[in-house]
Amino acid sequence: MSKFSRRDFIKAGAAVGATSFAAGFTPFAIGGATKKVVVVGGGVGGATAAKYIKMADSSIDVTIIEANKDYHTCFFSNEVLSGERELDSLKVGYSGLKKHGINIVHAWVSNIDPKGQVVKTSDGQSFPYDRCVVSPGVDFKWDTVEGFDATIAEAKPHAWLAGEQTITLKKQLHSMKQGGTFIIAPPPNPFRCPPGPGERITQVANYFKVHNPTAKIIAFDPKKGFSKGPWFQNAWERFHGFDSANPTADGMISYHALDGVVAFDAGSNTVTTASGNKVKGDVVNIIPAQKAGTVATASGLTNDKGWCPIDALTFESTMHKNIHIVGDSSVSSPMPKSGYAANSQAKVCAFAVVALLNGDKPGHPTYVNTCYSFISKHEAISVAMVYDYKDGKIVKVDGSGGLTSKEVDAKHLKMRAREAEYAHSWWSNIVDDSWG
Ligand SMILES: Cc1cc2nc3c(=O)[nH]c(=O)nc-3n(C[C@H](O)[C@H](O)[C@H](O)COP(=O)(O)OP(=O)(O)OC[C@H]3O[C@@H](n4cnc5c(N)ncnc54)[C@H](O)[C@@H]3O)c2cc1C
């Protein structure tokens, strides 16, 4: 195997986007004191950044501080709701990252002191850093739906962070009375996983079709639509008697655009929408408006909208030096808030951090996103896009993206069956690439 110099590495990093970077090059170490990188959050963004920094320069001391011992991927957690998967199949541990020589600390980070360059945990530990990478995912704006808060969400779960709440929601859906009503309230933009609500409606409808065929799903969306909307609606028409020309009609699924839930009475399970509709559900799933993870706010990294502005070349915060933010918390539009985007951003960030710690200039980055959604067990659709860095911004590369065809003839259904296989291998690949 040929040797890989630091300069080659940084050049490769600039072009690698989110493709797997083959390990096997010789790590380089620079003289002088050991450099310390502390990564806050061991989800997709944090795990990937830590791993790629360590692979690039094994002399850097890399520590991840993550609240939980195990991580459950949100990706494919909607399949848990339909019974296609068990939550356990989405569980990821940290032994793979330890093998790379990364220190793993399980603790809650209360805040980062940007002046002192120290990460502080709620149990009193302090972790000094030369550079800090922050990827805490999303938190919720609890004041946007009157009567709905974090405590109520334990019993009436949003299930937008895969884990206990996913199981609770699944149990509620699976024990809902025959002919009962499931109300889902997608969040306003921007939010984690733009196709997620459509995917959730599809998965729940697939479950109801077999186990509760007279059940109803009513979606009250504050937006005028959602990612892959026409594709999902086409599937609802094919399988669930939905009428896209009249989406609010009374079928198994009715979809109310521009009429989000503004209030919830947990006692009677009744939602009130912006237009004044009052509807009682048997199961209610309110997915609240979102913002960057709390540690970002506590550390002064967020703007007035609650998200973290960054320099897209390095993902360094524009508010505090030496702190980089990747993943859902960052302002990385036009990239969506997705796991694949977080993985891609983390690689760009890792290469930049290594370059900066070694006195080099970060290379020119590219970024990528792909997102699969299951329509049924054997049918999936996807969206993909490549992004470039231009004039200080992330921009879409014209003609680079793609969406699954809307056609559903025999030829295209075969392609969708292949997409279902690709989706499964995508999950294995991103998990291995981030935590393996
Ligand atoms: C239903 C659903 C389906 C999805 N499907 C897809 C999909 O098919 N494809 C796709 O690409 N994406 C999908 N996503 C989106 C994807 O899960 C997120 O975009 C991705 O997880 C973002 O990565 P992140 O690193 O920003 O946050 P996360 O992966 O959430 O990681 C954040 C980590 O930080 C930890 N943390 C937070 N705060 C602290 C703190 N103060 N101290 C210590 N630790 C902390 C958390 O415990 C967590 O482990 C889906 C999301 C949902 C909800």
3-state secondary structure 191-221: CCCCCHHHHHHHHHHHHHHHHCCCCEEEEEC
What's the burial of 2, exposed, middle or buried (CB within 10 Å: 0-12/13-18/19+)?
exposed
∠ CA(407), CA(80), CA(159), 5° rounding? 105
Lookup result for tokens 């040797």: 3
The separation between the first and the last C-alpha atoms of the chain, rounded to the nearest angstrom, is 21
CA gyration radius for the chain? Answer: 22
Tell how strand 283-286 and strand 181-185 pair up: parallel
Q: Which of 319, 299, 297 is nearest to 310 (CA)?
A: 319
Q: What's residue 14's pLDDT? A: 40
Atom of ligand 1 nearest to the CA of 430: 11
Distance 73 CA to ligand 1 centre (A): 7
Q: Are 393 and 220 in contact (CB under 8 A)?
A: no
Structure token pair of residue 14: 């600039």
Q: Which residues face 133 on adjacent strands? A: 39, 324
Lookup result for tokens 């957690």: 77
User: Ligand 1 atom 17: the closest Cα is on which residue?
Assistant: 74
Ligand 1 contact, 192 CB (< 6 A): yes
DSSP 30-73: -SSSPPEEEEE--SHHHHHHHHHHHHH-TTSEEEEEES-SSEE-
The Cβ of residue 369 has, within 10 Å, a number of other Cβ atoms equal to 26
Distance 287 CA to ligand 1 centre (A): 15
Distance 191 CA to ligand 1 centre (A): 11
Q: What's residue 2's pLDDT? A: 38
Ligand 1 contact, 72 CB (< 6 A): no
For 97, the 3-state DSSP assignment is helix
User: Ligand 1 atom 16: the closest Cα is on which residue?
Assistant: 339
Dist CA 187 CA 138 (whole Å): 13
**All residues at 6 or more sequence positions from 31 whose CB lies less than 8 Å from its CB, including other chains:** none
34-139+291-435 and 149-288: same fold? yes
User: Ligand 1 atom 45: the closest Cα is on which residue?
Assistant: 41
Q: Which residues face 128 on adjacent strands? A: 118
**All residues at 6 or more sequence positions from 27 whose CB lies less than 8 Å from its CB, including other chains:** 55, 56, 57, 58, 59
Domain ranges of the chain: 34-139+291-435, 149-288
Ligand 1 contact, 197 CB (< 6 A): no
Dist CA 114 CA 119 (whole Å): 8
Distance 71 CA to ligand 1 centre (A): 9
Ligand 1 contact, 350 CB (< 6 A): no
Atom of ligand 1 nearest to the CA of 369: 11
Dist CA 41 CA 38 (whole Å): 10
Atom of ligand 1 nearest to the CA of 341: 11
Phi and psi at 29, nearest 5°, equal -125, 145
Structure token pair of residue 393: 């911004």
Distance 137 CA to ligand 1 centre (A): 5
Q: What's residue 32's pLDDT? A: 59
Structure token pair of residue 211: 């186990």
Distance 161 CA to ligand 1 centre (A): 7
Distance 227 CA to ligand 1 centre (A): 18
Ligand 1 contact, 362 CB (< 6 A): no
Q: What's residue 33's pLDDT? A: 78
CA distances 317 to 132, 320, 358, 394, 398, Å, are 10, 5, 19, 15, 28
**Which of 1.20.1440.230, 3.30.1330.60, 3.50.50.60, 3.30.930.10 is the CATH number of 34-139+291-435?**
3.50.50.60
User: Ligand 1 atom 37: the closest Cα is on which residue?
Assistant: 136
Dist CA 244 CA 250 (whole Å): 12
Q: Which fold has domain 149-288?
A: FAD/NAD(P)-binding domain (3.50.50)
Ligand 1 contact, 227 CB (< 6 A): no
Distance 278 CA to ligand 1 centre (A): 32
Ligand 1, pocket-test mutation among 192, 332, 345, 419, most atoms within 8 A of CB: 192
Structure token pair of residue 246: 């009249």
pLDDT per residue of the chain (436 residues) written in tens, 0 to 9: 334 444 444 444 444 443 334 333 334 444 457 999 999 999 999 999 999 999 999 999 999 999 999 999 999 999 999 999 999 999 999 999 999 999 999 999 999 999 999 999 999 999 999 999 999 999 999 999 999 999 999 999 999 999 999 999 999 999 999 999 999 999 999 999 999 999 999 999 999 999 999 999 999 999 999 899 999 999 999 999 899 999 999 899 999 999 999 999 999 999 999 999 999 999 999 999 999 999 999 999 999 999 999 999 999 999 999 999 999 999 999 999 999 999 999 999 999 999 999 999 999 999 999 999 999 999 999 999 999 999 999 999 999 989 999 999 999 999 999 999 999 999 999 999 999 9
DSSP 100-166: TT-EEEE--EEEEETTTTEEEETTS-EEE-SEEEE---EEE-TTSSBT--HHHHHHS----SSSHHH
Q: What's residue 11's pLDDT? A: 45
Distance 279 CA to ligand 1 centre (A): 31
Ligand 1, pocket-test mutation among 63, 72, 74, 301, most atoms within 8 A of CB: 74
Phi and psi at 246, nearest 5°, equal -140, 65
Distance 346 CA to ligand 1 centre (A): 13
User: Ligand 1 atom 25: the closest Cα is on which residue?
Assistant: 45
Ligand 1, pocket-test mutation among 76, 338, 345, most atoms within 8 A of CB: 338
Tell how strand 216-220 and strand 181-185 pair up: parallel
Structure token pair of residue 83: 């019974």
CA distances 431 to 41, 43, 232, Å, are 15, 10, 26
Dist CA 219 CA 4 (whole Å): 53
Q: Any idea how long the chain is?
A: 436
